[in-house]
Amino acid sequence: MKILKKGQTGKTLMIGVTLIALLAILVPAVSAYESHLVNVKAHVEERFNVIKTIAPATWDDIDDAIANGLIPPDAGCIPAEPPDEVPIETCVVWLVTISIYNPHSDNMTNVVVTDHFGAELGGQPLDDLPVDVTVKTHTRGKSKKDPFETQYRITWYVTYISGDVSDPETVDNSGVMEPGDSEYITLLVWTKVNPSGRQEYTTPGTYTLNSGPTAKWLDPDGFQHSFEGDPVYIDAVE
């Protein structure tokens, strides 16, 4: 047994009281911090309201795309099966679905979803929805001839009321997504022939199918919010 010297008893008592006082301060602070983390986590999780999925196109989808002039009839396109792995130098076709829902307790208005696909890909919506597809082109050489496609950009007016989607200034997108509402759009996406005349993808590797869909909307107070979903990756194999 350790025997305390004279004067140590008072010091020990003072230290004990100090520790108890510190614990009284720290325990509520830790609990408040933990509650803060829980609240932050819940806030982040509820923002995940725009999702993209991919699946192989059907042969009927491919036939329709050829009939509508989207895909050359002699391209030999096949469904992308499995969807995350494709053979090189082969025309493959996907069905890409972008979904958005309102997880909040308030209405979402002026909801717009944008996305774009890589230079190796083309895309077209299958649904009759208010979507603008803008094809970006570049030119080669000093003469600026032979323009070639570099990117397909998708703008989907989810809460569309009226207007010409190819002219954003005319679009009235002031509709409402109420709490729990969800919408989706399906796109046909395919690998293109590059400016050199070779069918993409020309070399093995991991490629980004898209940039990740971005959703923007207004809350009831007029504040704009946005969230970017994850991109989709695929592997081109020999």
**pTM, full prediction:** 0.73
Residue 92 CB partners (closer than 8 Å, separation 6+): 77, 78, 79, 80, 86, 190, 191
- The helix (H) or strand (E) run that includes residue 233 is strand 233-237
Angle 171-174-176 from CA coordinates, rounded to 5°: 140
The one-letter amino acid code at 147 reads: P
pLDDT at 124: 86
pLDDT for res 75: 86
pLDDT at 117: 84
| Closest by Cα among 62, 64, 104, 99 to 191 | 62
In tens digits, what is the pLDDT along the chain, a chain of 238 residues? 444 444 444 544 444 444 444 444 444 444 443 333 333 332 333 345 788 889 999 999 999 989 988 888 888 999 999 888 999 999 999 999 999 999 889 999 999 999 988 778 888 888 888 988 887 654 555 555 554 456 688 899 999 999 999 899 999 999 999 999 999 999 999 998 887 888 889 899 998 888 788 999 999 999 999 988 888 888 999 8
CATH topology for the 51-237 domain: Immunoglobulin-like (2.60.40)
Q: How far is CA 182 from the centre of its chain?
A: 15
CA atoms within 13 A on the CB side of 233: 5
Query: Are the CB atoms for 151 and 59 separated by under 8 Å?
Result: no
Q: Where are the domains of the chain?
A: 7-46, 51-237
**So what's the pLDDT on residue 143?**
52
Query: Which amino acid, one-letter code, is at 235?
Result: D
Residues 165 and 155: beta-carbon distance below 8 Å: yes
- DSSP helix/strand/coil, 24: helix
